[in-house]
Structure 1
């Protein structure tokens, strides 16, 4: 009999984990213990850090006490957001496996897990389709002024001036689009953009050239991509190497009227120079005057540069939750069967090095 903690939340419910694992191991004699935290209806944050912010884990939901009480004698834990801090790992000696249903297990103290000999798995690509669709949606919204026209109409403004040639939107067909990063998400975005008829540039030092050629995209340096692209979309992970990958120096390379989409992580982009670039007129900043239909004869100055702001929703689909639970449960099933794991965050545990 194996006791398993399924720690879910309001996005990936505990039942998704238990159903997926039960399907993978129908006759394994599993006993489930359950914990449900309130993310995303309650925000995540750091857990277990000292007063100076040292130690602990980040982007976690729930408390150490909740996790320890729910764990009991469980040897396997499946979670998305629950905090597996050094304290939790130290006070749960029965724990032998932690499966995390997200792209990076930032809610787990990897050093503590490694020291305890506990493999920690993750779920790369769980939200790739969702994030790719969202990025393409943002690109289309910016190029065709969808969100501005919607917001204006709700305020009683009929944006008929968008049919004026100088204000009209742009098509993806024939456009050059640059993708910074060509992993699971970037490659899907490229496939969709090429279906629209776009020429796709890719900047990614780790991209496979043969694969890029087969996919019909052009690999190039970041500076060349920025100079040539009318649309740039970011799809890289945040590392010390990629933090502020786009900054004041290279953002100035973008052509006038370029669309910049960041549906990945905020730290890829240095936001400090953006207001200056936008207000200077360097990025699609052609001022115009609009007629306010709710008050005939009244004129209002346009905002000039276009800005689209959205919550971090790129991965928020039901399929993402289902897929994440299935991948995590699959790793747990392989662990319990003694089979090789596929997505291990601390592989040194497996090699003993």
Structure 2
């Protein structure tokens, strides 16, 4: 008797054919859910998600909120595989209580986000947005920017993405300061970074790049008082998570000239729609370069994260351990 194929449902956009082929070659049926234009799994209702996932053994998810009630309504589901590294929208206690495995795509997108971090540093410092607007509007004066070369860059947090940023910064002969709860002396010596506390980092850095995880204790890690510690000609870069920075305080600091500029890929309004007006004001400022939480969204980055998420699915449903660093909760021995 031929056993029924296990079902993988993908609710994330930009899922490539090579990864679909990989899943099918390992004996899985693959369904890529479609949503109306402008909609994603993040905007789908719980009822819509239940309908899409009712026969799924595995769910490769984008930004949908994964709740206890949703998981209880999906008894067949065995694994929730995040195509990405953040899992703040997944109720991990609910996953444990309902016997679901939760994985992330560790190792898939950090190179892309590190590239975006450097791109935002360079674009903000060289005033690329303002310079292009000068050309659009007509003849204007040349705008003087700032080098990244040989400057001091403060890195807040030292995870995978941050370490890739540090590696890139060495090519710019930058002095790199790092604040992290768990300094690694061997890494610091090998990479020539200096570990300092957050206040020292803010006062000394020409660029401050945020790479901390978002948790209740890190909300508004960068607030009005800490923005006031920064140099008046410095730049704040955030490619980590909205909420790590108090966007209202940042808006005030940028408008008043307290800091020179910002490069932003994430915003508080992603989790709090009441702050959408603050985001609109931020992205309209001439000294802000902004992108819509798309740092990981390159062809290559998405192919890598798709592949890791798919490998997690295959491993877990075959009763094996997923790739190192990818298992968040649950047991592969289901």
Same fold (TM over 0.5): yes
Distance in 2, matches of 1:283 and 1:111, equals 40
SS at match of 2:248: coil
Larger radius of gyration: 1
The match for 1:195 among 157, 171, 174 is 171
> Which position in structure 1 is the counterpart of 2:131?
149
1:5–1:70 CA contact under 8 A, matched in 2: no
1:284–1:304 CA contact under 8 A, matched in 2: no
> Which position in structure 1 is the counterpart of 2:187?
211
2:8–2:30 CA contact under 8 A, matched in 1: yes
Distance in 2, matches of 1:43 and 1:121, equals 20
1:38–1:61 CA contact under 8 A, matched in 2: no
Distance in 2, matches of 1:71 and 1:307, equals 40
> Which position in structure 1 is the counterpart of 2:23?
21
SS at match of 2:186: helix
The match for 1:267 among 231, 243, 246 is 243
The answer to whether structure 1 residue 80 and structure 2 residue 62 are counterparts is yes
> Which position in structure 2 is the counterpart of 1:5?
8
- Write out aligned runs for 1:168-187 (5 A): 168-187=144-163
Deviation at 1:107, TM superposition (A): 4.7
Deviation at 1:334, TM superposition (A): 1.4
The match for 2:85 among 103, 106, 123 is 103
> Which position in structure 1 is the counterpart of 2:197?
221
- Write out aligned runs for 1:176-325 (5 A): 176-284=152-260, 306-325=287-306
> Which position in structure 2 is the counterpart of 1:50?
none
| Unmatched runs of 5 consecutive residues or more in structure 1 | 45-59, 163-167, 286-302
Distance in 2, matches of 1:282 and 1:73, equals 54
Q: When the two structures are aligned, how many residues end up with a matched partner?
A: 307
Q: Which contiguous aligned blocks of 4+ residues in structure 1 show a shift greater than 4 angstroms?
A: 349-352
Call closer, same or farther: CA 1:17–1:79 in 2, change over 3 Å.
farther
Distance in 2, matches of 1:117 and 1:123, equals 20
Deviations 1:3-36 (A, max 9, x none): 21222343336x565323235x2xxx33334423
> Which position in structure 2 is the counterpart of 1:118?
100
Distance in 2, matches of 1:76 and 1:10, equals 16
1:6–1:77 CA contact under 8 A, matched in 2: yes
2:12–2:60 CA contact under 8 A, matched in 1: no
Distance in 2, matches of 1:308 and 1:73, equals 43
| Unmatched runs of 5 consecutive residues or more in structure 2 | 262-283
Deviation at 1:83, TM superposition (A): 5.3
2:129–2:286 CA contact under 8 A, matched in 1: no
Deviation at 1:249, TM superposition (A): 1.7
Distance in 1, matches of 2:148 and 2:293, equals 24
1:149–1:159 CA contact under 8 A, matched in 2: no
Distance in 1, matches of 2:162 and 2:147, equals 20
Deviation at 1:89, TM superposition (A): 2.5
> Which position in structure 2 is the counterpart of 1:42?
39
Deviations 1:318-346 (A, max 9, x none): 12221111111111121133222342222
Distance in 2, matches of 1:131 and 1:125, equals 11
Deviation at 1:245, TM superposition (A): 0.9
1:4–1:78 CA contact under 8 A, matched in 2: no
Deviations 1:203-248 (A, max 9, x none): 1112422112212211111111111111111111211221111112
RMSD between superposed Cα atoms in Å: 2.8
Distance in 1, matches of 2:194 and 2:28, equals 50
Call closer, same or farther: CA 1:42–1:278 in 2, change over 3 Å.
same
